[in-house]
Amino acid sequence: MRSVIFIWLLFAVSQARAEDIKFSSHTERDRYKIGEWVQLVVAADIPRSVTVIAPVTSDSIGGFEVLNVDATELPDGQRRHEWNFRLITFDTGRVFVPPIQFFYQTEDDTTRKLAYSTPVALTVVGVDVDLQGDIKDIKPPLDAPWLFEDYLPYILLLLVLLIVVGALVYWRRKRRRSIEPDRFVRRVPPHETALAALRDLEDARLWQQGKTKEYYSRVTEIIRVYLEGQYGVPALESTSDEILSVMKNLDRGQGVFKELTSFLLTADLVKFAKYVPTLEENTQELASAYTIVRSTMTPVEPERRVQEKEDVHVR
Amino acid sequence: MDIKAINEMIQKESAFVDTLTSEVGKTIVGQKYMVERLLIGLLCNGHILLEGVPGLAKTLTIRSLAAAIDTRFQRIQFTPDLLPADLIGTLIYNQKEGKFETRKGPIFSNFILADEINRAPAKVQSALLEAMQERQVTIGEETFKLSEPFVVLATQNPIEQEGTYPLPEAQVDRFMLKIKIDYPTRDEEILIMRENLNGMPTPGTPVMTPQQILSAREAVKNVYMDEKIERYILDIVFATREPSAQKLDKLAPMISYGASPRASINLALGAKAHAFVKRRGYVIPEDVRSVAMDVLRHRVAVTYEAEAEEVTAEHIVQEILNHVEVP
């Protein structure tokens, strides 16, 4: 009762200060359910010479939460203005929408004047509960509606991933296709290459033409390349001593080590010490090279050889 | 000269090598690598930078070598307050005769051990390095030639680098070899321990004369080096400057600058001396490989990138040696 008197007093004051313009408020009805939207309309007839400053509304008015404020101007000679407030409250009982502040100015006066809308009394009732009925469980949350926009980023991401994976697979297949032919290229065993090179060297008849140094350089290079291919020893980048120290451990009782030592030593003398070898030494150097290759080569199995030939033929 | 004659001459001239090493070996257990490198430096008229932790018998080895060659030896401990005059000598006023007299410094010797060279300031280092290069010293207005053989062996302690004056690259380049001395093996160390318990080892007796060293130097110059070996040396040195040319692209961003032409000269000289020590009248790739690390490790500067990856000049040189094709 006390609050009703207070509201009416406030209204009386506001009426006294805003003599010219009246801001009247009303709702559709005076009884609402808890949580139901309350459509409050504040209307005023405003002469053209008056400018109303839009009401400053916060999140709440009294015990009501403000959901939305909308102003409309009706086509009327008197410039009728309406402000629609969408309110909501969760209190039950007799509640009041308090007066809302409005400022306005007249054309011939810069002073801001204050006016209040009329308060509105409402009755908010709770939800009807059937006390005799069974106790029911709380309802689960409602499912959100399926919206395509919500899933669009995920769909796009999936598409990009599929494109990337597809491109990778395509690139790998293409690469494999370009590599695959090499896989079937028959790997020539190092001894075959070495023996062929030695035969070529023999045919070149270098030492017979006086190119002794070149002859020794080539014969040692053939053997170094062979050792590299056969044993994986970096013979081309190793000195004679280094090759011998590695080969000493690799010599599998074929007695090649002694042959190799003599072969490299003679070649070093010719290559680096201006040593002039005899004719026998020249022929012996090549013979030693053949011996080194033949006694250390790994024989190729006949079946594998046939298969390899077939591969070559097919290609 | 015919290769046969060269070989015979080298065989004759290098006969002292075994005697000398066995004489030094009477006092020094192990350190054969150091003795061999000292001999190479001596034969090439080059100076040597030694690096190794204290207590590895650096001084005793050099003292023993000096004693075995019957030459004078001086050890100079480099300190931050050392002055150039303390090293090369100065003029002293003789009151009795009323004139200035020259007092020669410890540099007037045959074997100089400049201990912890990086402890002395730049002006002292500069004075020493100038004497090393010019092989003469000027005191006042008088110039004195240093007696031959003159070899400087400078040590750098790899630890305790605070408050030191590291040698600038230009000065380090003047050392023909930079050798790293490692700890002795267990067997060697037990012998060292036993010998020292019986009393301090003393340098041996002279087994050769300085004149023989000078004569051996001439013989070293006559050791035959084939063009293939020369090209091999250049391949190695050029790979420090242009690693990409040797298909060593990965080394390119790690090398700040490569070895100088002085490196090529010293590598060729060192290879010849190594062949001489091995009593051969011609150089083989083995000789080049043997001295390459000692000639190049202080002449290749690494970048910050290499330092960040803990790649040293030694790693780079080793990689180059492993990749350059041997003739």
Which residue among A238, A271, A275 sits closest to B228, beta carbon to beta carbon?
A271
How many percent of chain B have pLDDT more than 70? 97
Model confidence pLDDT, tens digit, residues B128-149: 888 888 888 888 888 888 888 8
Q: Which residue has tokens 């074997």?
A: B111
Query: How does pLDDT run across B65-87, given as a tens digit for each residue?
Result: 888 888 888 888 888 888 988 88
CATH number (domain holding residue B267): 1.10.8.80
Same domain, B231 and B311: yes
The pair of three-digit structure tokens given for residue B278, joined into one six-digit string: 């091995």
**Residue of B235, B236, B278, B286 for testing the chain A interface, max A β-carbons within 10 Å:** B286
Would you say the C-alpha torsion B189, B193, B198, B204 has a positive or negative sign? positive
Tokens of A50: 């008056």
Contact (CB<8Å) B286/A237: no
The string of DSSP codes covering A123-160 is EEE-----TTS---PPPPPPPPPP-HHHHHHHHHHHHH
| Chain A contact set for B284 (CB, 8 A) | 239-240, 268, 272-273
Of A239, A273, A275, the CB nearest to B326: A239
Question: What is the sign of the dihedral through the CA atoms of B304, B306, B312 and B314?
Answer: negative
Cβ-Cβ contacts under 8 Å, A272 against chain B: 224, 226, 228-229, 282-285, 327
Name which of A75-79, A212-216, B32-36, B57-61 the model is least confident about.
Answer: A75-79
Higher-confidence position of A301 and B58: B58
Q: Are residues B152 and B230 in the same domain?
A: no
What is the per-residue pLDDT across A49-76, written as a single tens digit (0 to 9) for each?
788 887 777 788 888 888 888 777 666 5
**Gap from A238 CA to chain B (nearest CA, Å):** 6
Per-residue pLDDT tens over the stretch B279-316: 888 899 999 999 999 999 999 988 998 888 888 899 99
Residue B68 lies in a domain: yes
Mean pLDDT, residues B318-327 taken together:
90
> Does some domain include residue B142?
yes
Q: Where is average pLDDT lowest: A7-16, A216-225, B276-285?
A: A7-16
pLDDT for residue A301 is more than 70: no
* pLDDT tens-digit map of B4-30: 778 778 888 787 888 888 887 777 777
Of B216, B246, B272, which residue constitutes the final position of a domain? B216
Return the pLDDT at A91.
Answer: 87
Range of the structural domain that residue B36 is part of: 17-199+207-216
Instruction: Give CA–CA dist B283/B275, Å, rounded.
Output: 6
Q: Residue A122's beta-bridge partner residues?
A: A95
Same domain, B43 and B145: yes
Residues B157 and B242 both lie in one domain: no
Tell me if chain A has a CB within 8 Å of the CB of B224.
yes
Flag whether B88 is in a domain.
Answer: yes
Q: Which of residues B166, B190, B216 is at a domain's end?
A: B216
pLDDT band for position A179 (cuts 50, 70, 90): low
| Same domain as B180, residue B77 | yes
Contacts of B272 in chain A (CB under 8 A): none
Per the model's pLDDT, the better-predicted residue between B204 and A307 turns out to be: B204
Measured distance CA(B73)–CA(B150) in Å, rounded: 10
**Residue B4 located in a structural domain:** no
Instruction: State residue B33's pLDDT score.
Output: 84
Q: Based on the structure, what is the number of domains in chain B?
A: 2
CA B171, B176, B178 angle in degrees (round to 5)? 85
- Quickly state the pLDDT bin for B192 (edges 50, 70, 90): confident
Residues B28 and B148 in one domain: yes
Measured distance CA(A16)–CA(A20) in Å, rounded: 10
B171 shares a domain with B287: no
The C-alpha torsion from A8 through A12 and A17 to A23, rounded to 10°, is 60
Residue B121 has pLDDT above 70, yes or no: yes
Whether A180 has a pLDDT exceeding 70, the answer reads no
Tally of CB atoms within 10 A around B234: 14
What is the ipTM, given to two decimal places?
0.75
Higher pLDDT, B216 or A77: B216
> How far apart (Å, rounded) are the C-alpha atoms in residues B244 and B249?
5
Q: In chain A, which residues have their Cβ closer than 8 Å to the Cβ of B228?
A: 217, 271-272
Q: Which three-class secondary structure state does DSSP give residue B99?
A: strand
Q: B56 and B135: one domain?
A: yes
Q: What are phi and psi of B31, to 5 degrees?
A: 50, 35
Percent of chain A with pLDDT over 90: 17
Looking at B181, B216, B251, the residue that finishes a domain is: B216
Chain B hits for A236, CB-CB cut-off 8 Å, are 325-326
Taking an 8 Å cut-off on Cβ atoms, the answer to whether B228 and A237 are in contact is no
Average pLDDT value over all residues in chain A: 81
pLDDT reported for residue A244: 86
Best mutation site among A216, A272, A275 for testing chain B: the one with the most B CBs within 10 Å?
Answer: A272
pLDDT of residue B1: 63
- Asked if residue B92 has pLDDT above 80, the reply is yes
The answer to whether residue B8 sits within a structural domain is no
pLDDT band at A18 (very low <50, low <70, confident <90, very high): very low
Q: Are residues B212 and B234 in the same domain?
A: no
For B59, residues 6+ apart whose C-beta sits below 8 A from its C-beta are B75, B113, B115
User: Out of A17-21, A41-45, A144-148, which region has the weakest mean confidence (pLDDT)?
Assistant: A17-21
**pTM of the prediction?**
0.65
Mean pLDDT of B52-73: 81
Q: Find the CATH number of the domain harbouring B156.
A: 3.40.50.300
**Closest chain A residue to B323 measured between Cα atoms?**
A237
**Confidence at residue B133, expressed as pLDDT on a 0 to 100 scale:** 85
Contact indicator for A75, A17 with CB cutoff of 8 Å: no
> Quick one: B183 and B255 in the same domain?
no
B7 part of a folded domain? no
Record: contact B3-A274, CB cut-off 8 A:
yes
Same-domain pairing of B192 and B311: no
Q: Are residues B195 and B60 in contact, defined by beta-carbon separation less than 8 angstroms?
A: no
Span A141-167, average pLDDT: 92
- Position B203 scores a pLDDT of 67
Q: Are B193 and B88 members of one domain?
A: yes
Instruction: Give B236-265 pLDDT, tens digit per residue.
Output: 999 999 888 888 888 888 898 889 899 999
